[in-house]
């Protein structure tokens, strides 16, 4: 058992904190521990992952603090991932959500982590998805992710959270219309914070008018005064309702999140020659590395929403060397991104599918597992944990 896994399963808060730092730094051992913890938990969907987003000054941190208090009153454990802008001098997070929430420091049922964006757009840090998975796998009941104050194009939270709460405040006026093309469209719930201030009902009216033009289910609108705890219980109830709605069987009103093609893996004899060919048709190398445990040199070339992964063996006993000897250069595998790798692995094992490895970090850091061609209809299949980058 991975040493991170053992300590975290024993409830060691310091180990969880150290593992969090290692995940942010893309430590392969810490990333592997996430998959191991999720598998051992027996219920990879136990945690409720909630995104709190909205424009700067909406009171997101105060609302997150109030939600955490209410959840602790229900004896629920909580992890708070507060994504802050990056300090240009130190590279660390600024604004200090851990300081703003320091009243919780002595509560072992609340884990708080500030994460610097480190240049990422979308309101999240690069490692936020993996950090959320770590918190869920460690046994937390709720994982609350507070984004940087976002604008209309920064909507990455919607692909990570089970429920997305967009926080608005009175005084926005026509700004509700101005940002509707972005964060307005990802909301499962609208929280009108500072609802005791003038203009709150105007915001509600504008939202209702805008939502009346949309098809399908309408997001709930909840009025809150986070500084007083007003409306927080109602917001929690709306979060639970939205999460349960998304958990219903797939149908016309509840589409499931389907796997997406991440990349096509192509085995090549000479990486430089292969790169030159793909560059000649307009593709460019976005990432290169050597994966020691796979004994392979890798080059990634984005192609639309997917990628071409070129694979050159770095040793004679590399799996790619054996592939080239047997079949020659060509398609080696197809890789799919899945929203919950641990759950997919559990289903595959239950069905008797043949897995070629335990979930582990691959090129670029994401956790992956290979499925033998005998189980897939003849093609080597790689499943990759969906992540926000």
At residue 228, the pLDDT reads 94
Q: Which of 187, 215, 246 is the last residue of a domain?
A: 246
CB atoms within 10 A of CB 350: 8
Q: Is residue 50 part of a domain?
A: yes
Q: Examine the domain organization and report whether 199 and 55 are in the same domain.
A: yes
Q: Examine the domain organization and report whether 234 and 268 are in the same domain.
A: no
Name the residue with tokens 């994966």. 291
Q: Is residue 289 part of a domain?
A: yes
At residue 260, the pLDDT reads 86
CB atoms within 10 A of CB 109: 15
Helix 13-24 and helix 28-41, axial crossing angle in degrees, nearest 10:
130
Q: Which of 213, 246, 279 is the last residue of a domain?
A: 246
Q: Examine the domain organization and report whether 375 and 300 are in the same domain.
A: yes
Domain count, the chain: 2
Looking at residue 42, the DSSP 8-state letter turns out to be S
Asked if residues 271 and 314 have their Cβ atoms less than 8 Å apart, the reply is no
* Distance, CA of 76 to CA of 239 (rounded, Å): 14
Q: What CATH number should be reported for the domain holding residue 49?
A: 3.40.50.300
Q: Examine the domain organization and report whether 201 and 288 are in the same domain.
A: no
| Neighbouring-strand partners of residue 310 | 266, 299
Q: What CATH number should be reported for the domain holding residue 266?
A: 3.10.180.10
Please tell me the total number of residues recorded for the chain in this structure: 389
Q: Examine the domain organization and report whether 198 and 268 are in the same domain.
A: no
Q: Examine the domain organization and report whether 280 and 226 are in the same domain.
A: no
Q: Is residue 254 part of a domain?
A: no
* Distance, CA of 340 to CA of 359 (rounded, Å): 12
Return the closest-CA partner of residue 168 out of 63, 320, 262: 63
Looking at residue 349, the DSSP 8-state letter turns out to be H
Asked if residues 338 and 383 have their Cβ atoms less than 8 Å apart, the reply is yes
Take residue 384 and report the two structure tokens written for it: 């990759």
Q: Which of 190, 212, 246 is the last residue of a domain?
A: 246
Q: Examine the domain organization and report whether 169 and 264 are in the same domain.
A: no
Take residue 306 and report the two structure tokens written for it: 């997917």
Q: Which residues contact 162 (CB under 8 A, 6 or more apart)?
A: 48, 49, 50, 243, 246
The beta strands (E) that lie in 253-352 are given as 260-267, 287-291, 296-303, 306-313, 330-338
Q: Which residues contact 300 (CB under 8 A, 6 or more apart)?
A: 263, 285, 286, 287, 288, 307, 308, 309, 310, 363, 364
C-alpha pair distances (Å), 239 with each of 48, 188, 294, 304: 9, 8, 42, 34
At residue 215, the pLDDT reads 67
Give the percent of the chain with pLDDT over 70.
Answer: 78
Name the residue with tokens 């307009």. 282
Take residue 299 and report the two structure tokens written for it: 């080059």
Q: Which residues contact 115 (CB under 8 A, 6 or more apart)?
A: 24, 81, 82, 83, 84, 93, 125, 127, 128, 131
* Distance, CA of 88 to CA of 86 (rounded, Å): 6
Q: Examine the domain organization and report whether 60 and 144 are in the same domain.
A: yes
Q: Which residues contact 303 (CB under 8 A, 6 or more apart)?
A: 283
Q: Examine the domain organization and report whether 217 and 344 are in the same domain.
A: no
Name the residue with tokens 């796998």. 137
At residue 118, the pLDDT reads 46
At residue 125, the pLDDT reads 54
Asked if residues 54 and 166 have their Cβ atoms less than 8 Å apart, the reply is yes
Q: Is residue 161 part of a domain?
A: yes
Q: Examine the domain organization and report whether 237 and 349 are in the same domain.
A: no
Q: Examine the domain organization and report whether 324 and 198 are in the same domain.
A: no
Q: Is residue 235 part of a domain?
A: yes
At residue 259, the pLDDT reads 84
At residue 30, the pLDDT reads 81
Q: Is residue 39 part of a domain?
A: no
Q: Examine the domain organization and report whether 238 and 269 are in the same domain.
A: no
Q: Is residue 7 part of a domain?
A: no
Alpha helices in 86-161 (DSSP H): 97-100, 128-137
Take residue 375 and report the two structure tokens written for it: 């189980």
Name the residue with tokens 């069987």. 249
Residues of the chain with pLDDT under 50: 86-99, 118-123, 152-153, 174, 177-178, 248-256, 388-389
Which residues constitute the domain of residue 157?
45-246
Looking at residue 58, the DSSP 8-state letter turns out to be S
Q: Is residue 24 part of a domain?
A: no
* Distance, CA of 272 to CA of 302 (rounded, Å): 17
């Amino acid at each position: 058992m991975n040493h991170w896994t053992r300590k975290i399963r024993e409830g060691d808060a310091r180990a969880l904190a150290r593992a969090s730092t290692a995940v942010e730094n893309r430590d392969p051992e810490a990333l592997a521990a996430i998959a191991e913890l999720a598998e051992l938990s027996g219920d990879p969907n136990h945690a409720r992952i909630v995104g709190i987003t909205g424009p700067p000054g909406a009171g997101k941190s105060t609302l997150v603090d109030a939600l955490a208090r209410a959840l602790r009153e229900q004896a629920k454990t909580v992890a708070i991932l507060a994504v802050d802008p990056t300090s240009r001098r130190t590279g660390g997070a600024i604004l200090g959500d851990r300081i703003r929430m320091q009243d919780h420091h002595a509560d072992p049922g609340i884990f708080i982590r500030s994460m610097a964006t480190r240049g990422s757009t979308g309101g999240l840090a690069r490692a936020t998805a993996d950090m959320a998975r770590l918190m869920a796998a460690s046994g937390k009941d709720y994982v609350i992710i507070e984004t940087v104050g976002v604008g209309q194009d920064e909507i990455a939270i919607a692909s990570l959270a089970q429920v997305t709460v967009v926080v608005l405040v009175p005084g926005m006026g026509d700004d509700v219309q101005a940002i509707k093309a972005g964060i307005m469209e990802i909301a499962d719930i609208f929280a009108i914070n500072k609802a005791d201030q003038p203009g709150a009902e105007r915001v509600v009216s504008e939202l209702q008018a805008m939502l009346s033009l949309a098809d399908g289910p309408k997001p709930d609108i909840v009025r809150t005064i986070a500084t007083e705890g007003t409306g927080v219980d109602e917001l929690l109830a709306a979060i639970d309702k939205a999460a349960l709605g998304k958990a219903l069987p797939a149908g016309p009103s509840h589409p499931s999140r389907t796997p997406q093609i991440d990349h096509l893996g192509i085995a090549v004899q000479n990486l430089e020659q292969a790169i030159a060919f793909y560059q000649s048709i307009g593709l460019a190398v976005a990432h290169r590395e050597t994966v020691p445990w796979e004994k392979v040199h890798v080059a990634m070339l984005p192609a639309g929403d997917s990628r071409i992964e070129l694979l050159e063996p770095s040793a004679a006993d590399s799996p790619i060397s054996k592939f080239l000897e047997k079949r020659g250069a060509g398609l080696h595998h197809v890789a799919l991104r899945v929203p919950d790798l641990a759950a997919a692995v559990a289903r595959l094992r239950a069905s008797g599918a043949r897995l070629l490895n335990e979930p582990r970090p691959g090129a670029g850091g994401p956790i992956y597992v290979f499925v033998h061609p005998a189980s897939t209809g003849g093609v080597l299949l790689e499943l990759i944990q969906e992540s926000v980058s």
